[in-house]
Structure formats: structure tokens, C-alpha cells
Amino acid sequence: MKIVLVGATGMIGQAIVKELAEHQVIQVGNSKGDYQVDIEDRASVSALFEKLGKVDAIISTAGQIVFSAFNEMDFEQVKMTVDSKIMGNMNLFQIGSQYINQGGSFTFTTGYLAQNPMPGSTTISMVNAALDAFAKAAALEFGSDLRVNTVSPRFVKETMELMGMDSSTGVPVADTAKAYRHAIASDESGQAFDVVDYI
């Protein structure tokens, strides 16, 4: 299977590369990887897929977000989160989906905070919930031609450790990647796959 992984150079991205090692995984990053793309720039996204041609699946772990109390954020931080996580991923989907073979899949990355917010997660919860809702609606439009899902990571154990947090409730990044395998291999669409269900 030919899979484009956007956001491949991050911690979750690299775990997905290892998890899907038997497939042809094209690693795309903002400044590193096999190819580079700016997901907020439609010309950049178009140029990427013109080079890559037809693929079987696209996985996106891309999108910048700001974790902060809402009343401590300025508008530019809110806008950056929306522009990157929502509009950047809409660029990827609208352009990239034209290059996915019939019956293939597109998988967004959202997160546990979409349905389980906490103080400081206002914008993150908003953008992740928006992508979850988009996937449900898009699945109705595309039917069996294109499966559209999201994967919802929990707090990653290794990230928590790097931040000096108690990581006892975290999910190892290698286990997180298993949900992405399910997303590309199953025949489900319009779903938000919680990583804990695939460990």
C-alpha cells in the first residue's frame, strides 16, 4: 500500500512509520522527510501531490496548536491554531483526496480533548472536535469511494516524560500508532478511533 504520511517527522509520525513498515510510507514534513509541504499553502499541497501521483491512503498528524487558558491567548494564537489544524488539513483533504485510489482512506489526527476538555484546552478541543465532525459528514458524502476517519490519541507517555509530567496515565507512542493501522486497514468510515481500543 502506498501511504502518504504528513507530519511524519514528529513523535507519533515516526511511530506510525515503524508500525506500517511493510507498506510504502512516504514521509512528509514541514522541513524534513522525503518531501516537504506547507499545509496552509494550497500551492505547496498541490505541488506535493503532483509529484507523488496516485496513492492508497493519506494520514495526517500535522497541525500546530496552542495549549493555553483562553483568556490568556491573543487572537493571533487562536487564528494560528484554526488556520493550521483545521484549514491546513482541509487543504490536504480537498487536494489530496483527488489523488487517492478508489476505496482508499484519509485519516486525520484529533485527540482525546475533543470530547474530554480540560482547562487550557479550549482551542485544541475546538479544532479537534471540528475535524471529528468533518470526518463523520464527509464519510456520508464519499461513501465507499473514500473512507474518512480520525484517530484520537491520548496523552503520549514519552511526551509526558519529556515535559516532566507524571506519565503513568500516558499511552506509549508505539501503541498509539496501532490505531492508525486500523484506520487504513478497516472498511469503517466516519469514525473517531480512540487509541486505547487498539492496544
Structure confidence by residue, pLDDT tens digits, 8-46: 999 999 999 999 999 999 999 999 999 999 999 999 999
Q: What 3-state class would DSSP assign to 116?
A: coil
Region of 186 (left: φ > 0; alpha: ψ -120 to 50; beta: rest) is: beta
What average pLDDT score do residues 110-116 get?
92
Grid cell digits, residue 78: 487562536
Rounded Cα distance between 173 and 35, Å, is 23
What pTM did the predictor assign?
Answer: 0.95
Kindly state which CATH superfamily the domain 2-189 is placed in. Answer: NAD(P)-binding Rossmann-like Domain (3.40.50.720)
Inter-axis angle of helices 178-185 and 11-19, to 10 degrees? 60
Structure confidence by residue, pLDDT tens digits, 161-179: 988 888 988 899 999 999 9
Residue 48 predicted with pLDDT over 90: yes
Q: Where are the domains of the chain?
A: 2-189
- For residue 86, which of 131, 41, 147 has the smallest C-alpha distance? 131
CB of 170 within 8 A of CB of 12? no
160: pLDDT confidence band, cut at 50, 70 and 90? confident
pLDDT given at position 12: 96
Give, rounded to a whole angstrom, the gap between the first and last alpha carbons of the chain. 22
CB of 145 within 8 A of CB of 103? yes
Structure confidence by residue, pLDDT tens digits, 70-84: 989 999 999 999 999
What average pLDDT score do residues 94-121 get?
95
